[in-house]
Each structure stands twice: as C-alpha cells, then as structure tokens.
Structure 1
C-alpha cells in the first residue's frame, strides 16, 4: 500500500486559485438567496460583489467565500 500526502500545487503550470462569494441571506419568503458573484482569480476583485449585492438586498449580510485551490496527491514513492 502506498502512503500519500496532499500538497498545494504551486507549479508554474498549475491552475490558478479562483475566488467567488455566495450570499447566505434569505429572501422575504425565507428561502435562501444563494446568489453568487463571478469566479475570478483576484481575491480583492471577488470581494467587490458582496458590496454590490448588499446595495440591492440590504438585509443580505452573510456571505460564504468559496475558493478553488489546486492541490496534488503525492505518493511517498512512485508506484511500480
């Protein structure tokens, strides 16, 4: 049996880390809003969307940060 570790993929050709925010607020009827901002590489750019959403829905003040980060599974030794 092989032993594995998991590690952030920081290789130059690794996919970029991407960010998105999702609204955790509720609509007037009590249903989760679930609106999502754009998926972008720049975290500061992703942070703009909750402010835009709040302008239109002033009672939606709770958000989830969703990050897509590339990771690799690395064997202790290469399988033969």
Structure 2
C-alpha cells in the first residue's frame, strides 16, 4: 500500500478533479497482489466502501475509485 498527501503521485491514481465538499487530507492508493483485484474490491465493499467509478487506461492501468463511509475517495488497483 502506498499513500501521498493531497493527491496520489503515482501513475494509476490521478489527482481528483471537480468540486467536492472537502478535500481528503490523505489520499490512499491501495494495490492488490497480481490477479487479486476482484478479491480486494470485495473486501473493501464488505468494509462499507462503495465503488464510485471504474478507470481503465488499457496498458497504462486499471483501477477503481471507491469511497470510505465519510465520502473520502481512494483508489484500488
């Protein structure tokens, strides 16, 4: 797992765009083991995090933006 303050500087988790009520003070980028994305997504949903949108950039990456119970977004790749 990696994290960056304000926005995620990694290639697979771009800076959030658009208006939101408040900014995250910490943006998470959670990476699964190879082949483990579906299992990790299911675990996040079991913990109460809904999927917001899927991002598929082909060879550049595939990830989901999810939300914690307070509405803060994070990426699961």
TM-score range, shorter chain: under 0.3
Q: Which has the higher contact order (CA 8 A, sep 6+)?
A: 1
TM-score by length of 2: 0.28
TM-score by length of 1: 0.27
